Amino acid sequence: MYRVELIRPSYAERFHCIGADCEDTCCQGWKIPVDDDAYRKYESLPVGSLRAAIHSVLERTPAAEPGSPSYAVLKLPASGFCPMFNEARLCQIRAELGPDYLCRVCHDYPRVPRRIDDLDEQPLSLSCPEAARLVLLSESLLAPSGRPGYATWDDSNPGFEPLHNYFWAIRDFTIRLIVRRDYPLWQRLFLLGTFSRRLDAIARAESERSVLHFMREFSAALDLGKLNAAMESIRPDLETQLEMVLRMVSLNKKRDVAPRLADLLTAFASGIGLSRDARHADLIARYQSSFQNVYKPFFDHHPHMLENYLVNQIFGCLFPFGLKLTDPAAIPDCAEAFAALVLQFAMLKGMLIGVAGFYREGFSADHVVATVQLLSRHFEHNPRFLADATTLLDERKMNNAAGLTTLLRN
């Protein structure tokens, strides 16, 4: 029998909004969809100032069906702030009526609700500063909050079964790989890429091994260190890596950005010496110096921070299935899911290298939290970012094992 623990993001239970004390706000800059349950509650409010205020900005979405999370919207003024955001930096609806009257998206955020095999779980969106602190700063993020559950499979039958049937086994393998520190983090990701591509081969019936047999063999190879020499022979390509980071950072960049994001981009640029007249060789030298002298020593001392980031991302995107997990007939593209994870991680790593170069000996966990939060807010909530970043990979012919490794290896 093959038996694994159900590894789940129970840390979300520890999240608490800090309200007006937050350095950012989730009440500005985003569209506010209103589900039909909340819409009906707002329609039935008693006559008064709050009802009038809500109804002045509440607008039905054309042709929206009941059950749609965007049954209506709250129209935003030119400031981009939610019209229910009051002078105390709090939601007026919540202040007067309580959390049960919030629309679904506001009630859940920064939690990302998922339901898998009749189990509910809630990874966190790191675009919330307090969620980013909870995830990144915890040295025991995956400590169970209760009695762990387990899943078992009969691995005596090597016959073909859809990958969906092995979601919990694949998640268990993936998370345990990310947090095992006998390999450097870039090598763990390299190995995850190999794992993902081989899962695709199994899903396409190009391999005679079953999923469970493959994972046993892969785990044995990791324990014996059989892949170390091959990975160590891979040389860094910092020129290509930095070019891709700079191009990704420029994607969907608005002319006017929020002040905190503008400060972050300035720190990054200064940290690598980026200017109109900067020489290319000098940029690469500054980038590598920042990595070697500041970034690497910091994360060698705080390895849990980037591990926790990746673990939360894996939970959030249902790696490597994505939304295809809910469709048993769909064939997942595990390599595509891996590429998306690498793109987000590579941009974060590149930004952190620049920020570390700017602050030097003053570089701290607070800077890591701020960088993760601001990048998540600006890029991950942008529906075009991953598509455009993937196009960059395709244009450079880097959407393959060698190209993605270039983004990981320093």
From first to last of the 410 residues of the chain, give the pLDDT tens digit: 889 999 999 999 999 999 999 999 999 988 899 999 999 999 999 999 999 999 999 999 988 888 888 899 999 998 899 999 999 999 999 999 999 999 999 999 999 999 999 999 999 999 999 999 999 999 999 987 767 789 998 877 666 788 999 999 999 999 999 999 999 999 999 999 999 999 999 998 888 788 999 999 999 999 998 888 889 899 999 999 999 999 999 886 666 678 999 999 999 999 999 998 999 999 999 999 999 999 999 999 999 999 999 999 999 999 999 989 988 888 899 999 999 999 999 999 999 999 999 999 999 999 999 999 999 999 888 879 999 999 999 999 999 999 999 999 99
- 72-74 and 32-34: which strand pairing? antiparallel
pLDDT number for residue 254: 63
Work out the angle at residue 367's Cα, subtended by the Cα atoms of residues 366 and 373, and round it to the nearest 5 degrees.
Answer: 90
pLDDT number for residue 255: 60
Is residue 99 a contact partner of residue 303, using CB atoms and an 8 Å limit? no
Spell 218-248 as b/e; 16+ CB within 10 A means b.
beeebeeeebeeebeeeeebbeebbbbbbeb
Domain residue spans in the chain?
A: 27-108, 236-408
Amino acid at 303: P
Neighbour order of strands in the sheet with 58-60: 32-34, 72-74, 58-60
* E strand intervals along 77-168: 114-116, 119-121, 150-153
Distance (Å, rounded) from C-alpha 395 to C-alpha 50? 52
Q: Is 44 helix (H, G, I), strand (E, B) or coil?
A: coil
Cis peptide before 320 (omega within 30 of 0): yes
Query: Count of CB atoms within 10 A of residue 159's CB?
Result: 5
Residue partners of 250: CB distance under 8 A and separation at least 6: none
pLDDT number for residue 252: 67
pLDDT number for residue 286: 97
